[in-house]
A and B are shown apart, each in its own frame.
Chain A
Amino acid sequence: KQEVTQIPAALSVPEGENLVLNCSFTDSAIYNLQWFRQDPGKGLTSLLLIQSSQREQTSGRLNASLDKSSGRSTLYIAASQPGDSATYLCAVSQGGSEKLVFGKGTKLTVNP
């Protein structure tokens, strides 16, 4: 059974700092990995999707990497801003299944 873990559970940084969020998964036979952002009481906003054949994806100040063999992904946020404060969720899908399996998330606070 696929398990997704995200470390740390919470992170507080000063504005302008670069930071890395970590995601690990137990079964490396994934189809793709998706990073989401969740604001309090809100839905999930897709940030980046990495197919299993890819090593990284970039969108603006965000860069996500995938090391499938070791079961890890990282989300790098450059020059963090207070507006980046949110919970960041990692989710994986596996071949033959449509469902996403989520981690519990990392709650990020960027202090002005």
Chain B
Amino acid sequence: EPEVTQTPSHQVTQMGQEVILRCVPISNHLYFYWYRQILGQKVEFLVSFYNNEISEKSEIFDDQFSVERPDGSNFTLKIRSTKLEDSAMYFCASSVSLAKNIQYFGAGTRLSVL
């Protein structure tokens, strides 16, 4: 069964460093998302991406964050200068259409900022 793949599963970085989290959405899906979950907290929406541009973003998604679909398969989230409070589980999701909007999630990348 097709699935959303995320790499790495765990990323450790120093505060102030740039990180790139990678995702391979399901191949025929057109809508892509990033969410994060701080330990013990709710899953929070960061950004949605369609047709090579951001279609919606939350207030969390400030200038430190960016997303890109560099080729036909990968979807990346970049954090330019990580802060301690960026430590969280980051989930990528994709959906085939907006109408039905069943979002399929990857296993997540645990980001630890030291």
Are B55 and A98 in contact, with the CB atoms below 8 A?
Answer: yes
Q: What separation, in Å, do the CA atoms of A34 and B103 have in the docked complex?
A: 9
The complex places the Cα of A34 from the Cα of B93 at a distance, in Å, of 14
Could you tell me which residues of chain A, from 36 to 73, have a CB within 8 Å of some CB in chain B?
Answer: 36, 41-46, 49, 51
> Is there an interface contact between A104 and B103, defined as CB atoms closer than 8 Å?
no
- Say whether A98 contacts B48, CB under 8 Å: yes
Interface core residue of A91, A100, A105 (most chain B CB under 10 Å): A100
With an 8 A cutoff between CB atoms, is B107 at the interface?
Answer: yes
State whether the Cβ of B41 lies closer than 8 Å to any Cβ in chain A. Answer: yes
User: Which A residues are in CB contact (< 8 Å) with B108?
Assistant: 42-43
Interface size class of B (residues with CB under 8 A): 20 to 34
Interface residues in B60-114 by Cβ distance below 8 A to A read 91, 93, 98, 100-108, 110
Chain B residues 26-78 with CB under 8 Å of chain A are: 31, 33, 35, 41-45, 48, 50, 55-56, 58
User: Across the two chains, which residue of chain B brings its CB closest to A102?
Assistant: B43
On whether the beta carbons of A43 and B105 are closer than 8 Å, the reply is yes
Q: How far is the CA of A89 from the CA of B89 in the complex (A)?
A: 16
Q: Mark A73-112, 1 if CB is under 8 A from B, else 0.
A: 0000000000000000101010001111111110000000
Known A-B contacts A42-B107, A46-B103, A49-B102; the reply to A100 vs B91 at CB < 8 A is: no
**Cβ contact within 8 Å between A89 and B102:** no
Q: Are A46 and B45 in contact (CB under 8 A)?
A: no
Does B100 contact A49, Cβ atoms closer than 8 Å?
Answer: yes
Q: Is the CB–CB distance between A98 and B56 below 8 Å?
A: yes
Neighbouring B residues of A41 by C-beta, 8 Å:
110
CB distance from B5 to the nearest CB of A (A): 10
In the bound complex, what is the Cα–Cα distance between A41 and B31 (angstroms)?
25
A98 touches B102 (CB 8 A): no
Q: In the complex, what distance in Å separates the CA atom of A101 from the CA atom of B105?
A: 14
From residue A102, how far is it (CB to closest CB) to chain B in Å?
4
The answer to whether A89 and B58 touch (CB under 8 A), given A43-B106, A98-B98, A100-B103, is no
| Residues of the B chain whose Cβ atoms lie less than 8 Å from the Cβ of A34 | 102-103
Q: List 7 A-B contacts (CB under 8 A).
A: A36-B105, A43-B6, A44-B91, A46-B105, A49-B102, A99-B45, A102-B42
